[in-house]
Amino acid sequence: MHFLARITALFVLISTAWALLSSLPETQVLVMYDATLSLPEEANLDHLLEVNDKYKVSYVDYADDAAQLFLGEDSIYSHVVFLPSLKRSAAATGIVDKFKLLEFFNKGGNVLAVLGAESALPEHVRLFLNEAGIYPAPKGFVVEDHFEKVSVGASNVVEPRIIGAAEVPEYKGTAALVSNNAFALPLVKGAKTSFTASPKDSALIAEKTWTLGEQCFLAAAFQGLNSARIAWVGSEQLLNEDLVRWVFQEKGVLKLQFVEHYKADEPGLSDRTQYRIKNDVVYTAGVSEWKDGQWVPYVPATEDDVLQLSFKMLDPYQRLNLTALGPGASTENGPDDLTIFYVNFTTPDHHGMFTFELDYKRPGLTFIEDRRVVTVRHLANDEYKRSWDIPNSWLYLATFGTVIAAWFLFVMNFLYIGEKKPNGASAAKEAAEKKAEKK
């Protein structure tokens, strides 16, 4: 009876949790704030998030020890925003925990962290950012300049595809160091004469300086292999709509709609698993970009954004740029929502297991990865060229024919055309006549 009661209680609990998750809107946004520093209304995120039926924003105080980031093993929220705080620790350990934030990120969640000149972030949020290669300055450190006031303009923006235009006449905030991780993206850099230090220090020495010159980054981002995103800004002055939309996967999102490969002379037989050496092959891919709430054909912004195909065994035997063929539709009779890219090439003169690899990673765009393994075989016995199909073989064929013809002529000359030999009787008669003449 006790076992049956436990099973019944567990079933009720799972059903309740599933009903709760099913009732959640498509996208849940969590905003963490410090009530002693600001109120949720002062955050003014509604305008940046363009809140509509798709978004539901929940505000939770760092002091709320009952708040949770997960319900069972599922994330309750899709995006989390951390606003500045005056405290290094937070009572909301169900959310503000480095390991839970890493788990949230690995499951595809996106994180936006905002700092200020006189505020900080909880220590676990800082440690989480450190895992992404972003190292914000300690509390109280501000960005200053040796000669003029600190300002932000177009020349300071490193990745305009992410943060867009950033114009701040007088910047009041902090900075961070960014590691050389390939997935860590500096967004806004400081001037060559800028530095980050505490105003309380009377002397500027290396031990008390966090950043110097252009290693001073006022905003930074990180995108994981699962395309989940993290962004950090040193001041709410840099918090603009472009950045928020990028973090929340509203821009810079690509989708691989299809991939096909086939022999050039057999276009109807796509995605075959075997080719022959020196086959002419066509590779095509359809890519879409998410813009303004719908999928549209993706157009690379610069020549550096071109898609590349690698036909590789252990190392690439061929690395080829794909050419845009034009727009297409992902569904029959549907609107044009993708760009078709293609490339023609010849398989190498080497048999073995090869991979069609499309590995597209560009700053500010979600990653595209696709791998198709095929076999490249050698020529079969009946597929080799005959002697007369090889131009260099004509010399040997002519020599062979000349030898045969010469031997035939020699035999004919020896048997029928050369000097005739007399037979035995006529020879004896001629010899007797010659003797008689001598006498």
Closest by Cα among 256, 255, 258, 253 to 332:
258
Residue-level pLDDT at 3: 34
CATH architecture of 254-377: Sandwich (2.60)
What is the identity of the amino acid at 218?
Answer: L
Kindly report the pTM of this predicted structure: 0.80
**pLDDT(6) > 60:** no
Tens of pLDDT, residue by residue over 195-231, are 988 887 766 777 778 998 888 999 999 999 999 999 9
Residue-level pLDDT at 118: 80
**pLDDT(248) > 50:** yes
**pLDDT(281) > 90:** yes
Q: How far apart are CA 152 and CA 188, in angstroms?
A: 8
**324 or 204, which is more confident:** 324
Question: Of 150-159, 207-216, 302-311, 330-339, where does mean pLDDT reach its minimum?
Answer: 207-216
Residue-level pLDDT at 123: 93
Contact (Cβ atoms closer than 8 angstroms) between residue 303 and residue 346: no
pLDDT-based confidence at 438, cuts 50/70/90? low
**pLDDT(381) > 80:** no
**pLDDT(428) > 80:** no
Tens of pLDDT, residue by residue over 135-173, are 999 888 899 888 888 889 999 999 999 998 888 899 999
What's the distance, CA 297 to chain centroid?
18
pLDDT-based confidence at 424, cuts 50/70/90? low
Q: Which CATH number fits domain 24-248: 1.10.3470, 3.40.50, 3.10.129, 3.30.720?
A: 3.40.50
Residue-level pLDDT at 389: 73
What's the distance, CA 320 to chain centroid?
16
**pLDDT(306) > 90:** yes
Mean of pLDDT over the chain = 85
pLDDT-based confidence at 37, cuts 50/70/90? confident
Closest by Cα among 425, 424, 408, 427 to 416:
408
**10 or 286, which is more confident:** 286
From its phi and psi, is residue 12 left (phi > 0), alpha (psi between -120 and 50) or beta?
A: alpha
Tens of pLDDT, residue by residue over 99-116, are 999 999 999 999 999 988
Asked, colleague to colleague, whether 24-248 and 254-377 share their fold, the answer is no
**pLDDT(307) > 80:** yes
Q: Count CB neighbours of 370 within 10 A.
A: 14
Mean pLDDT of 17-39: 67
Bridge partners of residue 282, in order along the sequence: 262, 344
Q: In the chain, where are the structural domains located?
A: 24-248, 254-377, 389-414
